[in-house]
Structure 1
Amino acid sequence: MPLNHKHQMVILKDILSNHQTDCCGTVSECEQIERLVRSLLGNEQVGAHVKSVLPDIYAYGQNGKYSTDLDSHILSHQQQLSEWVNQLT
């Protein structure tokens, strides 16, 4: 059974929140961020306010996936992570 957009939002928010609080993450999580954002961007039920931040979150996931030091990448985005978590609420 596929996840609906509300479940996808919860998962995305959880990953971003974990990155913010733990200051670490995995390449798999970055890939999951990309998949979730792509799906949410294509969903008509997702509000414009959420869709406006999704490209930045996608770029964060993509840059993290290719980063040579993922923990530093996450650490350097602490402010954005906090903002994104609040905007996805």
Structure 2
Amino acid sequence: MPLNYHDQIHLLKDILADHQIDCCGSVAEYEQLERVIKSLMVNNEIDQNVKNILQDIYSYSQAGINSSNDHDHNQLHQSKFTNWIDSIDQYS
């Protein structure tokens, strides 16, 4: 059963919140972020502001997959997690 829009948004925010709290993420989580974002990006009903945020998160996830030090990668983005989550809430 595919996830609907609200489920996808909830999953995205949950993973980001976990990364913020845990200060790390697994390759599987980064890949899950990418899959959810790809699915959301083709949704024509999504606000362009959310799509811009999704592109930033997608870049974060790609860099996370390729990072040799996940903790350092995550630390570089700590200030962005709350902004991403709040912005998604605002526009979705």
Query: If the length of structure 1 is used for normalisation, what is the TM-score?
Result: 0.94
Aligned to 2:75: 75
Aligned to 1:7: 7
Q: Name the count of aligned residue pairs.
A: 89
CA distance in 2, matches of 1:39, 1:8: 9
Deviations 1:1-42 (A, max 9, x none): 110111100000000011011111101000011111111000
Q: Contact (CA 8 Å) 1:64, 1:70: kept in 2 or not?
A: yes
Q: Contact (CA 8 Å) 1:31, 1:61: kept in 2 or not?
A: yes
CA distance in 2, matches of 1:47, 1:7: 17
Gaps of 5+ in 2: none
Query: If the length of structure 2 is used for normalisation, what is the TM-score?
Result: 0.91
Q: Contact (CA 8 Å) 1:5, 1:45: kept in 2 or not?
A: no
**After the TM superposition, which residues 1-89 of structure 1 pair with which residues of structure 2 at under 5 Å, given as runs?**
1-89=1-89
- Measured after TM superposition, the shift of residue 45 of structure 1 is 2.2
% of aligned pairs identical?
44
Specify the code of the residue in structure 2 equivalent to 1:24.
Answer: C
CA distance in 2, matches of 1:7, 1:88: 13
| SS of the residue 1:25 aligns to | coil
CA distance in 2, matches of 1:28, 1:65: 9
Gaps of 5+ in 1: none
Show structure 1 runs of 4+ deviating over 4 A. none
CA RMSD between the two structures: 0.9
CA distance in 2, matches of 1:11, 1:30: 12
